[in-house]
Structure formats: C-alpha cells, structure tokens
Amino acid sequence: MPIHATDHGWVLETTTTAYALGLNRSGLLAHRYWGPRLPDLSDYPPAPDPAFWSFNNVGHLTPEEFPGYEDVKFIDPCLKLTFADGVRDVVLRFDSAEIIAEPTPELRIHLRDTAYPLHVQLHYRAHERYDLIERWASVTNHDNAPVTIERIWSAQWHLPPGEHYRLSYLTGRHVDEFHLRREPLLPGLKVLESRRITTSHHANPWFAVDRGDATEENGELWYGALAWSGNWKLVAETTDFGSTRVSLGLNDWDFAWRLNPGETLTTPGCFAGYSSEGFGGASRRLHDLVRETLLPHGTAIHKVLYNSWEATEFDVDEPSQIALAELAAEMGVELFVVDDGWFHRRDNDRAALGDWWPDARKFPRGLGPLIERVNALGMEFGLWIEPEMVNPDSELYRAHPDWTIHFPTRTPTMGRNQLILNFAREDVQDHVLGMLDRLLADHKITFIKWDMNRNVSQPGWPNAPGDPRELWVRYVHGLYRVWGTLRKRHPHVVWQSCSGGGGRADLGILRLADQIWVSDNTEPTARLAIQEGFSQIFPASTMESWVTDMGPAHLPLAFRFHVSMCGVLGVGGHLLKWDAAKRAEAARWIARYKELRHLVQLGDLYRLRSPQAHPLSALQYMAKDKSEGVLFAFRTHLPLNTLLPPISLRGLDPTARYTVEGFEGARSGLAWMRSGLMLELGDFESTVRHIRRV
Ligand code: DGJ
C-alpha cells in the first residue's frame, strides 16, 4: 500500500517519489515534502510551524494544502465563498482522514468549517507506477441555505522552500499552438488561464517548475496538468519568504456556483509529479499514465487515416469521396474520414451546423453506399461533426433560437458565422445526444472527429436554474455527458478531439477521445515545433498528424511523411492531384510507418534535439523492453558549410549491442549514447532509422 498514516500525518509513496502532508501545531493541514522517495517513513519532515511576524501570521506562512480565504492570509486561496448570511470567509479545520485501497489507493481528508455545516473533502490518489499524484476536492453544503462558491481549485502544489525557480509552460494561438516558454519565477503571481469555454489554443493547463538547471534528461522538476476541458486557471505564486506554489483548477473568472442545501460540487482532477530525470522523464510518466489509465482504447494501435478536408473542403459528394477513397486504399490507408460538408445543406461555413443528417443533394442514397464502398476497399469509415454549434441558418436554430449561449438584449457576435449551443441545458444535451446516437446507430462508423470552431462571447444563460455563471462549468459537464454517453453506447468508435486544431487538448478530453488534432497548421517545418510542445504532455498515440500539400512545394514528400510519422500518421493531401509516382512513394512511407508504429505509438519518447531551438532536430522512440527503437532527424535551414553535430541516442541498454539502420556493424548501447552517430542531411532533408538490439 503506497499510502501511510504516521505520527506526523500522511505519506503517499510512488515507485520513486513521495508526497507528505500533515497537521502543524496550529491545526493547519500543511504540506511537508515532495521529492525523491526516502528510505524510512520517519525521514519525511514534520509539518512546518512558521513563527508569527507582525504583518504575516502563521496562516499566511504555512504551506497549506487547501487554504480557504480567511484570517491574515494573503496568498491565493483554493476556496472562496459567501455564506447565505453574507459571511465571506471559510475556516477549514481537520476533521478526519481515511485511506481507501481500491481501485487506486486514495487518501481522503475531511475538513469542516468551524462555524457552518460546510464539508470539504480532499482526495489524493497515488498512481504508483507513474510517479504521479492525482488531487481533487469536493465541497458539500449541509446547511439549509445556499452557499455561493466564487472560487474552487483542484490543488495547490508547494515546491520545496527555496528561490530561483523557473516555470515552463505552453502558449500559442490558432495554427501555432504549443510553444514551450520558460521564465524565472520572481515574487508575485504568474497567471495562465482560459476564458474561452474550451481549454484553448493559447495556453494549456500544464506546468513544469525546476531550479533553472534541469535539462531534457537530467535534473529535478515538479510538474502537473489539469484534467479539464473548459475555463481553467494556473497561478504560480512566489513570495519573499522563499515559498513557491502552483495552484490549478477551474477559472474563477466570471464564475459563481450556488451550492444548495445537500449539494456537492466536485472539482476536476489535477495530476502532478516529481521527476529527477528532467523534462523527458516527466513527459514519459505522463505519456504512460495517459495511455494506460485515461484513453478509452488505451494502448490500441491507431490506423493510418485519410481525411479529405484539405482536398475537397465543403465540396463533398459520393463520387468525389469515392475517387479519393480508391486512391487512399491503394496507398495502404486503413481509415477514410469525410470531414465537414456532408450534412444537410452544408455548402459553406455560413449554414447548416445543427442539422446532422446527410445532405440529400450530395448523398442522394445517404451515406450507406459510400461507407460500403470504403469498406469494400478494405478501409473503415469515419466522419466529422461539430455538435456544440449552430448556424442561425439551420433548421435547428429556426426551431430553437433560445438554445444558444447569449444575452437576449445583445446582438450576438458570430465566430465563423456560428453560435454556441448551451450544452449546460439538459434539453440541448438530450437533443444532440439523440441525433448523434441515431447517426452512429444507422451507419457503420468507427471514427468520429468532434470539432469546435469558435470561442465564447456574451456568456448568457437566460432562465438559468441556478447562478447563470455556473455556465462555464455546467457546459463542460454537459459536453462530457453527451460525449461520454455516446462513447458508452458505441464503444468501438474512436473519437478525435479537434477545436480548430489543438484548442481542446487536455487530460480531461482524453478520457473520451483517443486522439487530438494538434493544429490546423500542417506545414511540416512549423509542425515540428508544435509537435514538440504537444509532446511535453501527450503521448504520440494521441497526436494525429497528416501529410498535406500545405507549405512550400520544395519540401520533399519524405520530409512531410517523416514529420507525420512521429505521431499517428494520416494523409490529407489532394490525392487526385498527386501523380502515380508520388502516390507510390506515399505507399512506401505508409508501409514503413506500419512497421514502426508500435514504437512510435507505445514506446518511450526521447527528445534528442529541440526543433524549437535548433534547425537540426531529432527524436527517438524506444520500446519499453529496449529491444528496438526508431530515430527521426530533421534539418530545416542551416548555413552552408555547417558541421552537423553527432546525435547521441538515449534509452538504450548500455551493455547490449545495437545496430542502427544505415550504419555498419553493431555497437554497445553506451557507445551509441556517448559518441552518437553522424548524419548527413542537407537543408529540408530528414531521416528515419530503425534501431535494433542484436
Ligand atoms: C477545423 C478543423 O481543424 C479542420 O481540420 C476542419 O475539420 C475544419 N474545421 C472543417 O470545418
């Protein structure tokens, strides 16, 4: 059992790390330790008891696990609320604790307010194999009057006391997501958030904090990610007392929740860990957790797909799709996906969202004959939907104009000519659920791309049963309900989460979707950097990556394929414009990918050289048993006469002997890792090399 109760409190131990908490002499639930696992339980320090100084009392100075807003505390609290009588602080004290063994060991701490019947439960799950702790909180109102919650976060994570911490995080925008940023944490608050109702392209609820010296494979860092697909907030707070904490949870921006008598509000989970193996070690832990515990289809190998969006856009019909499908099948594609444009009166982005049945002009016989032809060609069939949206020019909107998120007195702002359906409403959820359920029941569909192409504006919920600002959270609960129900009813379907590219990529959506459409930017040199940022959190088995026609024509097809082969390979180019030689080359790369994809999708990732930092970049995937791996290397532009540095492999068994495709003879793992290998690559050339233990 990895969770222990001792005289000093509780210790959660994972394979190599430990997290300790306990009560200090003032009765506050305080953080004690987070780092490498120590030999004895008595090695973990007791809860700190800071002294009282004029302006800053014990409450302010104690690293509390879940501080409420109260007392002389000016750090950012996890819980802030107003009781029915107007009292605006919450005084939480320890009540009891329990350790639950199954299914995943969990410590539950019960806190109670000292004057009101308000109960807070803190949950700590030890994901032992992955060296990760999962935390979340729930608050229950046992009073006979409602309480208004104004902030509730999932966790506050405390770094060991000290200075000179550095924060790594991801930012970006539509068509340019997942850029890795690093900056020192100085006293004050660093805030990252989404106010867009989705996770957003602009930042991701993930952090890594180190002492400024961690590298890809060495050094200590503390990292975490929130499993939530709506508005979130991350606050990294450093004080002049040498304390640093990172809080993560629901965004309190424009948020309020009326907690009625007897009701409970539960926060999303937040996963966090300590790594002594640098950023690479942290990513590998998260990748394993995602693949083995979150994804609906776990470690299933994903198929090579063709998506016709960039070829035909809205101009889809049965003959055009069959023509593409025939060429795709010849190339070895296993899954044919029809994107936007297939449904009732969808000719452009100005109409039809909401009317999810096949367009009778484009598919006079329905989708059945196309699906049959695709299946006869040996491929499975997939379809695009955008169920949270409605165009004003649609049958759905004409029947239910009140179903959108809106303020009735304001002119609605359009985004891509569409409005957002209020998924917080149960009637909206039921309608969409019914329509999509029929679509899946009536057709042989094994893959759905779930898209979401605008962010929120005028976040009104007319006639909301509770506080209308509950919208932000209830919308996501509604989304999870609709998607989760469909997933249960149609368990064979593989779902892809897309929001104009990577606008909804998070550990919450990965409980529903096995794959993520990382970016609408499929230009391969840009994609290298985007994929590297994405890989900080998500495994390659979730990273759908298509070879398209985007970007300069001089980029070799091999380069395009190699970039996409680093994830779940797809093709999105206009195959009717590809000549026979190009299609034959594509077929060779697809066959090659099928030989290597078990390594890419299920192996350990080593980022050898960063494309965000170097024009010569490389990454490697290794089988868990170290028997084989694959190396990818890319050169974009480097000035003439640049001497390329050797590439040192990683993750090999140092004493075993390996061959690397294209190099003479076997060498020890240590030799490949120490002296590395020299590649000859010109500008915009790339290579893929199979590594084998002999
Ligand atoms: C945005 C997606 O990211 C694209 O791949 C495509 O599906 C379009 N939407 C279709 O409207």
pLDDT digits (tens, 9 = 90+) for 323-363: 999 999 999 999 999 999 999 999 999 999 999 999 999 99
Token pair, residue 636, equals 């974009």
Question: Strand (E) positions, 472-550?
Answer: 494-497, 515-517, 543-547
Domain span(s) for CATH 2.70.98.60 in the chain: 60-294
Residue closest by Cα to atom 4 of ligand 1 = 500
Look at the domain 608-693 and name its fold.
Immunoglobulin-like (2.60.40)
Distance of alpha carbon 525 from alpha carbon 527, whole angstroms: 5
Centre of ligand 1 from the C-alpha of residue 670, in Å: 45
89 assigned to active site: no
Architecture of domain 305-528+547-592: Alpha-Beta Barrel (3.20)
pTM: 0.98
* Residue 451: active-site member: yes
Atom of ligand 1 nearest to the CA of 313: 10
Q: Is the predicted pLDDT of residue 53 greater than 80, yes or no? A: no
Task: Give the pLDDT of residue 595.
Answer: 98
Ligand 1 near 105 CB (within 6 A):
no
Write the residue with the smallest CA distance to atom 5 of ligand 1. 520
What would the pLDDT profile of 513-537 be if each residue is shown by its tens digit? 999 999 999 999 999 999 999 999 9
Residues listed for the chain: 694
Amino acid at the residue 460: G
State which H helix or E strand residue 476 sits in. helix 471-489
Task: With a cut of 80, say whether residue 429 has pLDDT above it.
Answer: yes
Question: In which residue ranges of the chain is CATH 2.60.40.1180 found?
Answer: 608-693
- Nearest one of 124, 164, 153 to 19, comparing CA atoms: 124
In the chain, where does the domain assigned CATH 3.20.20.70 lie?
A: 305-528+547-592
The catalytic residue among 252, 451, 506, 514 is 451
Q: Show Cβ contacts of residue 694 under 8 Å, excluding neighbours closer than 6 positions.
A: 657, 658, 659, 666
How close is the Cα of 385 to the center of ligand 1, in Å? 10
Q: Give the pLDDT band (50/70/90) at residue 54.
A: confident
CA 81 / ligand 1 centre spacing (Å): 40
For residues 667-676, average pLDDT? 97
Instruction: Outline where 307-394 has alpha helix (H).
Output: 309-312, 318-331, 368-376
Across the range 365-385, mean pLDDT stands at: 98
Do 271 and 225 form a contact (C-beta atoms < 8 A)? yes
Q: Which atom of ligand 1 is nearest to the CA of 384?
A: 7
Asked whether 280 lines ligand 1 (CB < 6 A), one says no
Which mutation among 314, 385, 495, 498 tests ligand 1's pocket best, with the greatest number of atoms within 8 A of CB? 498
Rounded to the nearest angstrom, the distance between the alpha carbon of 544 and the centre of ligand 1 is 13
16: CB partners within 8 A, 6+ apart: 36, 37, 131, 276
Q: Give the amino acid at 209.
A: V
* Residue-averaged pLDDT of the chain: 97
Which atom of ligand 1 sits closest to the CA of residue 499? 3
CATH of 60-294, one of 2.40.50.100, 1.10.3720.10, 3.20.20.80, 2.70.98.60: 2.70.98.60
- Cβ–ligand 1 distance for 386 under 6 Å, the answer no
CA-nearest of 302, 216, 304 to 620 is 216
Q: How many CA atoms lie within 13 A of 12 on its CB side?
A: 30
**pLDDT for 163:** 86
153: enclosing H helix or E strand: strand 147-158
Going from the Cα of 445 to the center of ligand 1, the distance in angstroms, rounded, reads 19
> For the residues 61-88, what does the mean pLDDT come to?
96
In 10 A of CB 237, how many CB atoms? 18
Say if ligand 1 is within 6 A of residue 550 CB: no
Q: Three-class SS of residue 100?
A: strand
Q: Which tokens is 448 given?
A: 């759905």
- Residue 572 Cβ contacting ligand 1 at under 6 Å: no
